[in-house]
Structure 1
Amino acid sequence: MLTPQQFGKYATIIAATTVTNLGGLWLWRSLSTSTTNFTQEPEKTTLPSLTLSGHKGWVYAVAISPDGKTMASSGYDGTIKIWNFSNGQLLNTIDAHKDAIESLAISSDGQVVASGSWDNRVKLWRLGSGNLIQTLEGHTDDVKAIAISVDGQTLASGSYDGTIKIWNLKTGSVERNFKHSSSITSLAFSPDGEMLASGSKNGQIQTWQVNTGKPLHSLAAHKNTVWAIAFSPDGKTLA
């Protein structure tokens, strides 16, 4: 998932995973960074710029480093694969979890990649070396979504247990628990880190004040699962 800061800078590149069991990723390059071109009819492009193969089974998540040079992918095989984003070279494979990894996030400094798994755990890794930094435990069901604040101090994890946990990454401790009306399937911090948005299995979007845990807005937005959510760079718009 692209952060608000990355979206504007790397709008020329789109990373996509297919919902298949082939273990592949397909990368497309868009036509322009100009927002005015979104209203124009694009040229027909059918072939991806790069095809990356390596996972054994479904690919569930991708994350791109802030400098646009590195991409992480994860899937059913419990591994995280680190790729050179410009040429598709596989740089490293991390045997991260004993179960599927459905969520990834890379810190704004590009040093840490976080993974959320069906084993109910969140793990943090050095992006460059693949070394484990710490393991965060507390959820009682699959971790479906994770997000790291822009300052890199806070991580939010959302689970099928219906809770969101706010973690202090310096101490590895849970600072707050938010209770949602349904299983959590997507998360995003606002650019200033003061607000968190969550999407759920029942189609509801909820925004929260991070420091207090106060629910701010509840949006009955979709008829089914909200799989992805993102803030605009100015923090005023939510998609």
Structure 2
Amino acid sequence: MLEKMKDAEKLNKPNALYEDMMQRFKVSSIEQPARRQVDRVIRRSEVGYVEFGESTVPSVCKHTIHAHDGGCGSILFENNSDRLIGGGQDRIVKIWDTKTGNPSSTLHGCLGSVLDLAITHDNRSVIAAGCSNNMYVWDVSSGRTCHTLTGHIDKVRTVDASKASNHNVVSAAYDHTIKIWDLQNGYCINTIISMSNCNALSYNMDGLTICSGHVDGNLRL
């Protein structure tokens, strides 16, 4: 009996090591998929890792442009161009040459912070929506203010220009309205009442369909 007890004691240590190893394996098998689910990264030590070549995405910033005082509200590129347009809390809209990082023109006239920007299909007119409940339209070549579009009774949150026409623009404000404008004459041609305030707008390529994204989580066409 004494010999059997000694043999059993000798087996206890390997059994404990085996149980510990199995427990670690179970934890690892649960932990790895959970980690991949959280951060979408497969590490070298994990099953499914494949060696890829180095990323071709640049890691060095080409230009740092100090554009606005108090924060940038909206940016967009001109159509088929390297020129960048930005508007900010300093009530100024600037156009930049991204190859050099230098400003090419500055557009003045906004009475409130710029919240969104749009440009017509022919790159001739820039439209800024802002906190002053109005929109401002500039002629890009001269920097002259063409129109101040009034009609919203709360801040204009978003604006977009038609891709099919150089004269139509759509805007939405926190007054539950979406308005379509004729830039040639500078007046509103249609008003759509919405149940929920609109945060984003997009014109379809056909120039006939508008999609609006709302605070209530819905998209409306």
Q: Same fold by TM (over 0.5)? A: yes
- Report if aligned partners of 2:67, 2:86 keep a CA contact under 8 Å in 1: no
> What is the aligned partner in structure 2 of residue 105 from structure 1?
118
SS of residue paired to 2:65: strand
1:137 equivalent in alignment to 2:144: no
SS of residue paired to 1:197: strand
Q: Structure 1, residues 121-164: CA drift from partner, whole Å, max 9, x if none?
A: 01110112211011110001111111111211211011111110
Unaligned runs of 5+ in 2: 1-52
Inter-partner Cα distance in structure 2 for 1:191 and 1:170:
20
Inter-partner Cα distance in structure 2 for 1:111 and 1:50:
26
Query: What letter is aligned with 2:197?
Result: S
Distance 1:45 1:139, change over 3 A: same
Inter-partner Cα distance in structure 2 for 1:67 and 1:45:
22
Per the TM alignment, residue 49 of structure 1 is displaced from its structure 2 partner at its CA by: 2.4
Q: Structure 1, residues 83-116: CA drift from partner, whole Å, max 9, x if none?
A: 1122211112222312101010111111110001
Inter-partner Cα distance in structure 1 for 2:96 and 2:202:
23
- Report if aligned partners of 2:136, 2:148 keep a CA contact under 8 Å in 1: yes
- Report if aligned partners of 1:67, 1:110 keep a CA contact under 8 Å in 2: no
Higher relative contact order (CA 8 A, sep 6+): 1
> What is the aligned partner in structure 2 of residue 50 from structure 1?
63
Inter-partner Cα distance in structure 1 for 2:68 and 2:62:
19
Out of 190, 194, 206, which is 2:220 matched to?
206
1:155 equivalent in alignment to 2:183: no
> What is the aligned partner in structure 1 of residue 139 from structure 2?
126
Out of 188, 197, 200, which is 1:186 matched to?
200
Query: What letter is aligned with 1:49?
Result: K
Q: Structure 1, residues 12-40: CA drift from partner, whole Å, max 9, x if none?
A: xxxxxxxxxxxxxxxxxxxxxxxxxxxx9
Q: Percent of counterpart pairs with the same letter?
A: 26
> What is the aligned partner in structure 2 of residue 169 from structure 1?
183
> What is the aligned partner in structure 1 of residue 88 from structure 2?
75
> What is the aligned partner in structure 2 of residue 212 from structure 1?
none
Inter-partner Cα distance in structure 1 for 2:101 and 2:150:
33
Per the TM alignment, residue 47 of structure 1 is displaced from its structure 2 partner at its CA by: 3.1
Query: What letter is aligned with 1:131?
Result: R
Q: Bigger CA drift: 45-54 or 105-114? A: 45-54
1:96 equivalent in alignment to 2:109: yes
Inter-partner Cα distance in structure 2 for 1:193 and 1:44:
35
- Report if aligned partners of 1:68, 1:85 keep a CA contact under 8 Å in 2: no
> What is the aligned partner in structure 2 of residue 29 from structure 1?
none
Inter-partner Cα distance in structure 2 for 1:198 and 1:48:
34
Aligned residue-pair number: 168
What is the aligned-residue RMSD (CA, Å)?
1.7
- Report if aligned partners of 2:136, 2:149 keep a CA contact under 8 Å in 1: yes
Query: What letter is aligned with 2:194?
Result: H
Inter-partner Cα distance in structure 2 for 1:192 and 1:147:
14
Unaligned runs of 5+ in 1: 1-39, 208-239
User: Which one has a larger percent strand, Structure 1 or Structure 2?
Assistant: 1
Query: What letter is aligned with 2:88?
Result: G
